[in-house]
Amino acid sequence: MIPLIKPEVGEEEIEAVRAVFQTGHIAQGPTTKKFEALFAEYVGAKHASATTSCTAALHLAVCSLGIGRGDEVIVPSFTFPASANAVALQGATPVFCDIDLKTFNVDVKSAESAVTERTKAIMPIHLFGQSADMGAVARMAKKHGLRVIEDAANAMGTFYEKKHVGTLGDFGCFSFHPRKILTTGEGGMLTSEDDALASLAASLKDHGKDETGAKFVRPGFNYRMSDILAAIGIVQLKKLDATIKRRVQLAQRYSQLLEGVSGVTPPHHPAFTNHTFQSYVVLLDNGIDRDAIIKKTRERGVQTQIGTYAVHLQPAYARSAASLPNAERADKQALTLPMYGQMTDADQQLVVKTLEGILR
Ligand SMILES: Cc1ncc(COP(=O)(O)O)c(C=O)c1O
């Protein structure tokens, strides 16, 4: 079986975890602080705060911006439900907008048409490893006085022009789930350029403590990362540039192999962003039964997967009735191909041959 992913963790990570156990400090402590500092340096953020997941980071961002009941946040529909859940669980309403089918990222015109007097923020998603059009997002946010929460779950190593994503809005939220190119098993990071917002988020992350840690000044959560996971993160961060380089090679190879395979559009990214290929996602022509393709490739030993979800169609958000044609098309026709560092040329050829054989 050619699996969808193989998390790239090994002896170095095991050694790092062993070293943490030997210190006796296994909850949040000095290793997490070190990981946060290295992460902040890598992405060029003023503040970076390690969390239990990207969902936790998104929740902290929404809470810290004071978004709640009666407020609306514009969220591109084609994403993992966690983006919208962070808004809904604060009592606010995620208002879904459409995407650009070439990039699978926010269609800023559609986002702008969703603005009302209740809109407080926009949440651009940097899907699959490429940046949303943050220039257009920033112009729109400025025009309407909106906050910007970047969902960078998929976008470690992704830049908008010269700036790393997650440093362009009020908050950036990253994921270290095993399907991400930097993994700690589970985990996340919240970045911010604003001292006051970062300090509030740090308090909310840690039971509502004040900066001295001696007083509880507000109700808070426990969204802290443990030093065990932070140790893995430090090793993964060291390997990140090599990981991305390999993924870009694999993606170029896929795109060559897919040339001339009819019915399949390979990924595209505009000049303002690089693409780390956290996922290599193609778009199948209308009329091709994507779910049948997934089933058949798996029967033939190749694990393919959907892209992600048009969240406005999920039962949890079905009350949102607007038609978002591109998100709906991506929901039905996007297909993720297997990708991992040890993949060989022969593996990639087999994936493409299998897909081509089924499509024919
Ligand atoms: C776009 C997006 N946002 C948020 C999340 C949630 O990340 P986590 O699993 O770290 O909570 C994911 C997870 O896949 C995602 O793809």
Using one digit for the tens of pLDDT, what is the confidence trace for 274-292? 999 999 999 999 999 999 9
Per residue in 182-238, pLDDT (tens digit) is 999 999 999 999 999 999 999 999 999 999 999 999 999 999 999 999 999 999 999
Q: Which atom of ligand 1 is nearest to the CA of 179?
A: 14
Per residue in 112-140, pLDDT (tens digit) is 999 999 999 999 999 999 999 999 999 99
User: Candidates 53, 55, 156, 180: which one to mutate for ligand 1, based on the most atoms within 8 Å of Cβ?
Assistant: 55
Domain match, 303 and 172 both = no
User: Candidates 87, 154, 183, 223: which one to mutate for ligand 1, based on the most atoms within 8 Å of Cβ?
Assistant: 154
Of the residues 219, 235, 251, the one at which a domain ends: 235
Domain match, 193 and 50 both = yes
Per residue in 1-18, pLDDT (tens digit) is 999 999 889 999 999 999
**Quick one: how far is CA 235 from the chain centroid?**
20
Domain match, 265 and 206 both = no
Per residue in 104-113, pLDDT (tens digit) is 999 999 999 9
Domain match, 214 and 343 both = no
Catalytic-labelled residue, pool 6, 46, 109, 180: 180
| Ligand 1 contact via 54 beta carbon (within 6 Å) | yes
Beta-carbon contacts of residue 46 (< 8 Å; ≥ 6 apart) = 40, 192, 193, 194, 195, 198
Rounded Cα–Cα distance for residues 230 and 243 (Å): 18
Q: Which atom of ligand 1 is nearest to the CA of 56?
A: 11
CATH number of residue 263's parent domain: 3.90.1150.10
Does the annotation mark 180 as catalytic? yes
Per residue in 308-358, pLDDT (tens digit) is 999 999 999 986 667 999 999 999 999 999 999 999 999 999 999 999 999
| Ligand 1 contact via 130 beta carbon (within 6 Å) | no
User: Candidates 60, 62, 177: which one to mutate for ligand 1, based on the most atoms within 8 Å of Cβ?
Assistant: 177
Contact assessment for residue 206 and residue 224, using Cβ atoms and an 8 Å cutoff: yes
Outline where DSSP puts E strands in 204-268. 264-265
The number of domains in the chain is: 2
Contact assessment for residue 237 and residue 328, using Cβ atoms and an 8 Å cutoff: no
**What is the pLDDT, as a whole number, of residue 24?**
87
| Ligand 1 contact via 277 beta carbon (within 6 Å) | no
Domain, as residue range, for 340 = 241-359
Mean predicted lDDT score pLDDT of the chain: 97
| Ligand 1 contact via 125 beta carbon (within 6 Å) | yes
Angle subtended by helix axes 11-23 and 30-43, to nearest 10: 140
Rounded Cα–Cα distance for residues 104 and 96 (Å): 14
Strands 159-160 and 163-164: antiparallel
Rounded to the nearest angstrom, the distance between the alpha carbon of 22 and the centre of ligand 1 is: 32
Outline where DSSP puts E strands in 214-289. 264-265, 280-284
Q: Which atom of ligand 1 is nearest to the CA of 151?
A: 3
Q: Is the pLDDT of residue 149 over 90?
A: yes
| Ligand 1 contact via 153 beta carbon (within 6 Å) | yes
Rounded to the nearest angstrom, the distance between the alpha carbon of 180 and the centre of ligand 1 is: 9
DSSP per-residue codes, 288-320: S-HHHHHHHHHHTTB--EE--EEGGGSGGGTT-
| Ligand 1 contact via 83 beta carbon (within 6 Å) | yes
Domain match, 144 and 216 both = yes
% the chain with pLDDT above 70: 99
Domain match, 206 and 276 both = no
Domain match, 53 and 149 both = yes
Q: Is residue 1 part of a domain?
A: no
Per residue in 230-256, pLDDT (tens digit) is 999 999 999 999 999 999 999 999 999
